[in-house]
């Protein structure tokens, strides 16, 4: 029997994520102003908040959004960045599938066990409704292929 084809997704930048990042950073800035801290401590806190905001906006609008994502029924993923580089990997069980928020947590092939896992945030405005539904079904019911020759280890 032929396995099902991989799901091809083209994520868009998320306005919902941008509003959430902006609201969180503004609230944290106001809280920092209200705390009884020295001026230099508040300045350092504002620098950190600004860095977090810049990184968050980059992750949800700029180069942090992959141009193309292929997800297979065997929990394999291929992401292509906007500059044309592709990376293959395996989707981890840490991924979350919800009605409004889905996160794909994955690890690159041949990455050391100490390497950080990658993550992709998928919100309803990131994908068309049908693609978002298919992705959630695939992540919920897809299973990793187990190689019998390696004592039950995941193939790949």
pLDDT digits (tens, 9 = 90+) for 79-99: 998 888 999 999 999 999 999
37-68 residues labelled b (16+ CB within 10 A) or e (exposed): eeeeeeeebeeebeeebeebbebbbeebbbee
Number of domains observed in the structure of the chain = 2
pLDDT in tens, 24-60: 999 999 999 999 999 999 999 999 999 999 999 998 8
Residues 6 or more apart whose CB falls under 8 angstroms from that of 136 comprise 97, 102
Please tell me the predicted confidence (pLDDT) of residue 64: 79
Structural domain contains residue 134: yes
The pLDDT, as a whole number, for residue 77 is 94
pLDDT grade for 141, boundaries at 50, 70 and 90: confident
**Cβ(64)–Cβ(81) under 8 Å?**
no
Co-location of 72 and 129 in the same domain: yes
* Of 97, 85, 65, 88, the residue nearest 156 (C-alpha): 88
CB 100 within 8 Å of CB 124:
yes
Residue 156 lies in a domain: no
Same domain, 102 and 56: no
pLDDT at 69: 93
- On whether both 82 and 130 belong to a single domain, the answer is yes
pLDDT tens figures, 125-140: 999 999 999 999 999 9
User: In the prediction, which pLDDT does 113 show?
Assistant: 78
Mean pLDDT of the chain: 88
Tell whether 95 and 126 lie within a shared domain: yes
pLDDT at 143: 78
Same domain, 56 and 72: no
> Which domain does 118 fall in, by range?
7-11+67-142
Phi, psi of 112 (to 5 degrees): -70, 160
pTM: predicted TM-score of the whole model, two decimal places: 0.80
């Amino acid at each position: 029997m032929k396995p099902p084809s991989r799901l091809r997704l083209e994520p868009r930048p998320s306005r919902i994520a941008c509003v959430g990042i902006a609201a969180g950073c503004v609230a944290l800035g106001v809280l920092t102003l209200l705390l009884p801290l020295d001026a230099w401590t508040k300045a350092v806190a504002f620098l950190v908040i600004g860095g977090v905001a810049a990184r968050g906006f980059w992750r949800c609008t700029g180069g942090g959004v992959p141009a193309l994502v292929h997800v297979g029924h065997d929990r394999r993923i291929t992401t292509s960045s906007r500059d044309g580089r592709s990376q293959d990997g395996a989707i981890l069980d840490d991924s979350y599938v919800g009605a409004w928020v889905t996160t794909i947590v994955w690890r690159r092939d041949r990455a050391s066990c100490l390497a950080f896992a990658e993550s992709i945030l998928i919100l309803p405005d990131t994908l068309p409704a049908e693609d978002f539904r298919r992705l959630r079904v695939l992540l919920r019911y897809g299973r990793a292929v187990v190689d019998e020759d390696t004592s039950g280890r995941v193939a790949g």
